[in-house]
């Protein structure tokens, strides 16, 4: 049995006060639309049509060729939006169609799968995904009868008795595709807003003797959306806490969660301690028994076991086991920090490999370099990788000692066990076990400051 999905993503969200479709606002770093898409995919529904409208080019740029789209050039209600997907539905020939809101990010794959099972087993023409809320104010109420749903009543139209109902419409539906297309053809806009309401398809199907039913999900968060920035912040808070709870269950330690933001695809091993102010995003993977933070930021980084990172920012990089870095260190893309490395304060590593048990103590820049094992960098060293036109690489062999304030002018190679004296500028290759020493001529000029400053040179205050 084949199934497809239609995701409604054409809303403007005027109260957001931004020139972009509302489903493109981000929750934990991802557009709300992406949350809905991924729930569909995890549920095995990957034949998807996205109905776009306001600023449709933003949706096009984000989606690319991943999914089909339909344009709602005039926003005339949810029913009208689904009407625009009819050519997709006819081409898809799927037996069942899932309709979702692109700005309700917390729909989950289990709810999608279980509601579909109920939809098929019961032979429903439409199955409304519902939820039970302690405070249902503002939501459409599901009015049940012995034969299933008899009506969905909006808050403003509900009677006193209906307002007591706690089962509400989530805005998510499974339809028999043929019945959906037929009901859409009969929709009218005879209402104060002159809009086509998708909920009217339910009364149409019921009037034709079709079965309408509700599947009540255990995940009451499926109904949540955001109409303004305050609501968007609330969604982010909920998502952030849910992700942290998942990691707590998996054995990750949080002493304090202030400022901790972890995107939902981040992996963290058991026994790792995440400290305050840490932000982990876009595919970051962290091993076991690490200490991350405070105030670390990692994006698409792979971090091994037993590593301690303090005030470190790392992007598109790899950091192996038993590494200690920080504070105030920047690991830039395409860098690989190998086992046992120690990196101290105010160091930047860019597009470089740092070999096992190497020490980069402080105030050093290593860019476009291949550094061997057990190398020691003194304070203030620089691999000078850019000549104004090209980036060039530096190669440093195992067991080298790089003296304080050394400049390595790339392209240059230091053999194994080579030393550079403090203050040396290295402009040519250094052979194995050699010392590079270049300090120029040292001169003294007696009485210089007395001649230059006169009495100021000896003034105490």
Q: Largest alpha-carbon pair distance within the chain?
A: 108
User: In sequence order, what are the beta bridge partners of 324?
Assistant: 308, 342
Query: Sign of the C-alpha dihedral, residues 64, 65, 67, 72?
Result: positive
CB contact at 8 A, 391 and 368: yes
Bridge partners of residue 168, in order along the sequence: 131, 141
Q: Residue 386 and residue 146: Cα distance in Å, rounded? A: 77
DSSP secondary-structure letter at 321? T
Q: Residue with structure tokens 């595919």?
A: 283
Asked if 291 and 303 touch (Cβ cutoff 8 Å), the reply is no
Q: Per the omega criterion (within 30 degrees of 0), is the bond before 336 cis?
A: no
Determine the 3-state secondary structure of 222 from DSSP.
Answer: helix
The two tokens of residue 11 are 């809303």
Is 362 one of the catalytic residues? Answer: yes
| Residues whose CB is less than 8 angstroms from the CB of residue 311 and which lie 6 or more positions away in sequence, other chains included | 294, 295, 296, 326, 327, 328, 329
Q: Which residue has the tokens 């303004």?
A: 228
The catalytic site residues sit at 362
């Amino acid at each position: 049995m084949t199934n497809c999905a239609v995701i409604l993503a054409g809303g403007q969200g005027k109260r957001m006060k931004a020139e972009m479709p509302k489903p493109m606002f981000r929750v934990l770093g991802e557009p709300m639309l992406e949350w809905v898409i991924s729930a569909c995919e995890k549920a095995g529904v990957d034949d998807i049509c996205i109905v776009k409208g306001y600023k449709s080019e933003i949706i096009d740029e984000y989606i690319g060729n991943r999914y089909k789209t339909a344009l709602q050039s005039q926003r005339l209600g949810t029913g009208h939006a689904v009407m625009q997907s009819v050519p997709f539905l006819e081409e898809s020939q799927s037996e069942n169609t899932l309709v979702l809101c692109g700005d309700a990010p917390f729909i989950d794959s289990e709810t999608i799968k279980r509601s579909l099972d109920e939809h098929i087993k019961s032979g429903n023409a439409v199955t409304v995904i519902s939820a039970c809320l302690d405070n249902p104010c503002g939501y459409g109420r599901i009015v049940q009868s012995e034969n299933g749903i008899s009506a969905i009543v909006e808050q403003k139209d509900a009677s006193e008795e209906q307002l007591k109902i706690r089962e509400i419409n989530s805005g998510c539906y499974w339809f028999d595709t043929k019945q959906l297309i037929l009901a859409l053809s009969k929709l009218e806009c005879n209402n104060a807003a002159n809009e086509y309401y998708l909920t009217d398809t339910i009364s149409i199907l019921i009037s034709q003797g079709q079965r309408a039913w509700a599947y009540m999900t255990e995940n009451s968060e499926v109904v949540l959306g955001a109409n303004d920035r305050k609501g968007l912040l609330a969604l982010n808070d909920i998502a952030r806490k849910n992700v942290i709870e998942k990691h707590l269950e998996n054995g990750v330690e949080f002493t304090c969660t202030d400022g901790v933001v972890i995107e939902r695809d981040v992996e963290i091993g058991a026994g790792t301690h995440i400290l305050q102010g840490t932000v982990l995003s876009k595919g970051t993977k962290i091993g076991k028994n690490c200490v991350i933070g405070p105030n670390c930021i990692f994006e698409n980084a792979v971090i091994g076991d037993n590593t301690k990172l303090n005030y470190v920012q790392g992007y598109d990089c790899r950091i192996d086991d038993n590494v200690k870095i920080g504070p105030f260190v920047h690991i830039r893309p395409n860098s690989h920090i190998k086992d046992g490395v120690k990196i101290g304060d105010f160091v930047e590593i860019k597009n470089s490999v740092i070999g096992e048990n190497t020490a980069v103590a402080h105030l050093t820049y290593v860019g476009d370099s291949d550094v061997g094992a057990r190398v020691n960098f003194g304070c203030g060293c620089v691999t000078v990788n850019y000549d104004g036109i090209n980036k060039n690489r530096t190669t440093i062999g195992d067991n080298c000692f790089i003296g304080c304030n050394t400049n390595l002018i790339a392209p240059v190679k230091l053999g194994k066990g080579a030393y550079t004296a403090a203050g040396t500028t290295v402009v040519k290759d250094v052979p194995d076990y050699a010392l590079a020493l270049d300090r120029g001529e040292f001169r003294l000029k007696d009485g210089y400051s007395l001649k230059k400053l006169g009495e100021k040179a000896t003034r105490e205050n």
